Structure 1
C-alpha cells in the first residue's frame, strides 16, 4: 500500500508539472497574440492618422471663414497645388494646409489668397498664393500678427467680426501705393473659462501695388529646394475673362428685352415725372413710376439697395423728362423747366450702392450699370475701377451735392458735349469718385466711351467696336 501511494503521488506531481508547462505555453501564446494585435492596432492607428492628414491636405475645401472670400480662386489654387505638390514633403517641411480657412482678404479678382499651415493643432505659417497673368506663385508668409490672427479665427470663441478695405497713398504721391484690408475679431469666453475677459483684436494685410523690394521667400511644394518651377510660377487654370464694358453694352442693346425697356422709357420722356426700370441679377425687370414731381424737382423712388431683398439689383434705367413750361404763381410768369439731360449725383449715389453690393456678393463690378434716357441723348455708366475705388454716400451727403451740381452744370445746359465734360469733372473733383466711365448710347446703335483727358479740361471719345 505504501509503494502504491508513493507511485500515485509521483505520477500526480508529474501531471501537475505538465499542466503548468502547458498553461505557461498557452499564456505565452496569448501574450504573443495580444502583442501582435496591439502592434496591428498601432499600425492601423498610424495609418488612419496618416490617411486623415492626407485627407486634410487634399480634400476639396468648404470655406469656414467668417468673411466673404474668393472661393473660385481658392478652389483653383488648390487644384494647382495638389497637381504639383509632394504632400509628404510639404507635411514634413511645413505642416498641414487647411484650405477651409483660406482667406483672400477682400480680393475677388482671382489674384490673392493666404492658406494657414498647421502643426500640433496650431497655425505656424501661411502660404501666400499670388496670381499674375496665367501663372500662380506660392510664397511663405511668416507674419507673426497674421499667424496669430488665423489661430484666433480657427481656435477661439469668436463672437463678432468686421472688415474695412482702404487704399493708402504713398509718401510722395497721391496714387495708392498700398491696398490694405483690416479685419477685426471679438474673442469671447468658453463656458468652462472663469478668468477670461473678452477682447477685440485686428490685423491689417497690405498688398504693395508695384515697385521693387525684397522678393518673398518661395514656398516649395515639391521638395527641390528651389520650388521646382515655383520661381517661374505654375500654370493657372481657366484665366478669368475680363469682358470690357463696350462689349457688354453692345450685347445689352442687342437684347430684345432691354431694347423694349428703352422704347418704353423713350415714350415716357414727355411725362412730367421720371419713370424707370430696375434689373435683377436673374434678368428680371421691374417698372417704377413712383416719383415726387414738382415744377422745381423730380425724383424717382427706386427700391432701397441696402435692404437684403434688393442686394441683387444689378442696374437701372430711368428718364430725364423733356423740357416743359409752367406758370409760376409767385413770379406770375411762364417758366420753362429745362432740366439737366445727363445723370445726376442722386443717380451716381444709387449706382455706387449697387457696385458695393456686387462686390459684397462677389459679382463682376463692371456688370453694374445705370442708364439715363432723354429725348436729346441716352447715356449709360459702368464701373471700370477696382474694389478699392468703391465709395458710397449717406442720404445727407447725396443731398448736399444737389444744389452745387445744378449751379455747376447750369452754364452747360444747352451744350451736350459740355454737359458730358461737366459731369465727369464733377464726379472727379467734387464727389472724388474714380473708376466710373461714361458711355453715350448713340441713336444708330453704336456706343461711344467718354473720358476725361489728363488735363481734366477736355474729354476724349473712343468709339466702341461694332
Structure 2
C-alpha cells in the first residue's frame, strides 16, 4: 500500500513537472504578449523598426476595446516591419491555443495608424513557423518591387524538417529545410472596415471602422516613397560634381591613351585615379579603401597587346564593383543601393548598380571561368567585323547571365541626362534597352 502511494506520489510529481515545463514554454511565448503590456523584445530573425512597433503597441494598448476583433492575442515580440524603417508599416501574428489565427497589419497614413485583421493562408503559415518552429534560419530575400501605387516586399526564412524526430537537430540529424515566405504589398486601406478576408476583399464595405488612431510618433507627412532604381541612376547622373567629372573623362583623347583614367568617389569627394602605362587597374593616392562608394573610369580603344578593350564594362569591372563600392556603400551610407560603377567607352557609357540594401550573400558567379570566354568572344567579334555595339552589349549581358547571375545586379546605358536599363533575353540571347521614366 505504501509503495502504491509512493508510486502515485512520484507520478503526480512527474506530471507536475511536465505541467510546469509546459507552462514555462507557454509563458515564454506569451510573456510579453499581454495586450496591456508595453514591454517589447524583438524575437524575429531580422532587424525591425522598433520605434514604430513600440509606438503602435502603445496605441493598441490604449484602444484595445475599439481595435480588437475576434479572439486571439497579438504577439508583439514577433511583429515585423518587413524591412521598412520609416515608421510606416508592421504586421503582427495573433495567436490562440498555440496557433496563429490571423495577422494584424498596421500601416500609417500621415499622423494616423490603421489596424486591419487579415486571414491570408501564406501569412499565417509564415508566422506559425516564425513563432513555433524549433529550428529556423534567415535566407536571402528577393528584391522588392515598387511603383507609385503599390510597394511589395518579400521576406523569407527556412524551417528545419527532421527526418527522424529522435534526432531533430539540423547539425547532427537528417532532414530538409523548407521555406516560408510572405509578400507584403502595401496600399492605402483606409476605406476598409478593419477586416480583410483571404481574397483581399473588404466585406465591411468601407466607412473607416476603426477610422484610424493618432500616432504618438508624429509623422504629419506620409512616409516618403523609396526611390526606384531608375530614379537613383538619374539622380547620380545629374549630380553636378558627378557630371563635371564624367564630361572630363568622356573624350576621344582619353580613349586613345595607352592607359585608363578615372575617379573614385570617397566620402563625397572625387579622387583622380589612373592605371599604369598599358595597365587596366586604377591606382589612386588614398590612405584607405573605406567609404569608396563609386568608381568611374575609361576604357581605352585598344590595348597595348593589340586586343580591343571592349566598349562595355569588363568582367573585372563587375568584380571590383561587388567587392568595393557595394560593400563600402553599405558600411558608410547604410545601403548597397548607393554604390555605382561607371565605364566610359567610345561606344557608350554604362553604369553598374546593385538593387539590394545588403551586399550579395550568394556566390552564384565564377569570374575566372568567364574571363577567357568573354575576352575571346569580344576579340572574335572584332576579327569577323561583327563588333557592333548591339552585339557587344549582347555578349556582355550573356556573360552576366552565365557567369555573374546575381540577384539585384543591374546595368544601365547612360544617355544624356537619363539612362536605359539593359534587359537580357536568355532565349534569344539579345539585349533590349528599357528607358527610365
TM-score range, shorter chain: 0.5 to 0.7
Corresponding residue for 2:268?
283
Instruction: Give how far 1:392 is off.
Output: 4.5
TM alignment of 1:71-150, pairs within 5 A: 71=49, 75=52, 79=56, 82=59, 86-88=63-65, 94=71, 97=74, 99=76, 101-104=78-81, 113-116=90-93, 127=103, 129=105, 137-140=116-119, 146-147=127-128, 149-150=130-131
The equivalent residue for 2:37 is 56
Q: In the alignment, which of 369, 386, 398 is matched to residue 400 of structure 1? A: 369
Distance 1:440 1:407 in 2: 23
2:345 is aligned with 1:374? yes
Distance 1:151 1:205 in 2: 13
Pick from 364, 378, 386 the counterpart of residue 409 of structure 1.
378
Structure 1 residues 150, 450: CA separation in 2 closer, same or farther (over 3 Å shift)? closer
1:343: how far off?
0.9
**1:256 and 2:256 aligned:** no
Query: What is the aligned partner in structure 2 of residue 206 from structure 1?
Result: 181
Summarize the Cα distance change of 1:216–1:272 in structure 2 as closer, same or farther, 3 Å threshold. Answer: same
Is residue 2:435 matched to residue 1:460?
no
Which residue among 393, 408, 411 is the counterpart of 1:420?
393
| Aligned equivalents of 1:145, 1:244: Cα separation in 2 | 28
* Among 136, 157, 166, the residue aligned to 1:182: 157
Q: State how far apart, in whole Å, the 2-side matches of 1:106 and 1:387 are.
A: 10
Deviation of 1:345 (Å): 2.3
SS class of match (1:411): helix
The structural deviation recorded for 1:427 is 2.0
1:448–1:461: 8 Å Cα contact kept in structure 2? Answer: no
Q: CA RMSD in A?
A: 5.8
Query: CA, structure 1 residues 83+226, in 2 after alignment: closer, same or farther (shift >3 Å)?
Result: farther
Aligned-pair CA distance for 1:242: 4.5
1:341 and 2:307 aligned: no
Contact 2:342 2:350 in 1 (8 A): yes
Secondary structure in structure 1 of the residue aligned to 2:232 = helix
Does the 8 Å CA contact 2:263/2:271 hold for their aligned counterparts? yes
Q: Which moved more, 1:316-325 or 1:348-357?
A: 348-357
Q: Is the 8 A contact 1:137 1:234 kept in 2?
A: no
Classify 1:114/1:76 alpha carbon distance in 2 versus 1 (closer, same or farther; 3 Å).
Answer: closer
User: C-alpha separation between the residues in 2 aligned to 1:140 and 1:360?
Assistant: 38
Residues of 2 paired with 1:433 and 1:410: CA distance? 26
Corresponding residue for residue 11 of structure 2: none
DSSP-derived class of the 2:366 partner: helix
**1:446 touches 1:464 (CA, 8 Å); kept in 2?**
no
- Name the structure where helix makes up a greater proportion of residues: 1
Extract unaligned runs of 5+ from structure 2: 1-32, 143-152, 161-166, 172-176, 186-195
Q: Note closer, same or farther for the CA distance 1:111–1:271 as it changes in structure 2 (3 Å cut).
A: farther
Q: 1:200 to 1:348 in 2, by over 3 A?
A: same
Residues 70 and 273 of structure 1: is their aligned pair in 2 closer, same or farther, counting only changes over 3 Å? farther
Q: Distance in 2 between the 1:129 and 1:263 partners?
A: 49
Are residues 341 and 364 of structure 1, via their aligned partners in 2, closer, same or farther at CA, if it must alter by over 3 Å? same
Structure 1 residues 90 and 241: alpha-carbon distance in aligned structure 2, compared to 1, 3 A threshold = closer
Instruction: Indicate how the Cα distance of structure 1 residues 124 and 425 shifts in structure 2: closer, same or farther if over 3 A, else same.
Output: closer
Specify the structure having the higher radius of gyration (Cα).
1
Deviation at 1:461, TM superposition (A): 3.6
Distance 2:231 2:46 in 1: 29
Matching of residues 218-229 of structure 1 within 5 Å: none
Structure-2 residue corresponding to 1:299: 281
Give the whole-Å Cα distance in 1 for the aligned partners of 2:55 and 2:388.
Answer: 55
Post-superposition shift, 1:403? 0.8
- Alpha carbons 1:129, 1:139 under 8 Å: kept: yes
Q: Mean alpha-carbon deviation: is it higher for 257-266 or for 224-233?
A: 224-233
Q: Structure 1: how far apart are the matches of 2:227 and 2:257?
A: 36
For 2:115 and 2:379, how far apart are their aligned partners in 1?
A: 52
Sort the Cα spacing of 1:256 and 1:79 in 2 relative to 1 into closer, same or farther, 3 A.
Answer: same
Structure 2 match to 1:11: none
- Change in CA separation of 1:277 and 1:65 when aligned onto 2, cut-off 3 Å: farther
TM-score (norm 1): 0.54
Task: Give yes or no for contact 1:359–1:365 (8 Å, CA) kept in 2.
Answer: yes
The alpha-carbon deviation at position 421 of structure 1 amounts to: 2.2
Distance 1:148 1:250 in 2: 41
Q: Name the CA distance, whole Å, in 2 between partners of 1:456 and 1:233.
A: 52
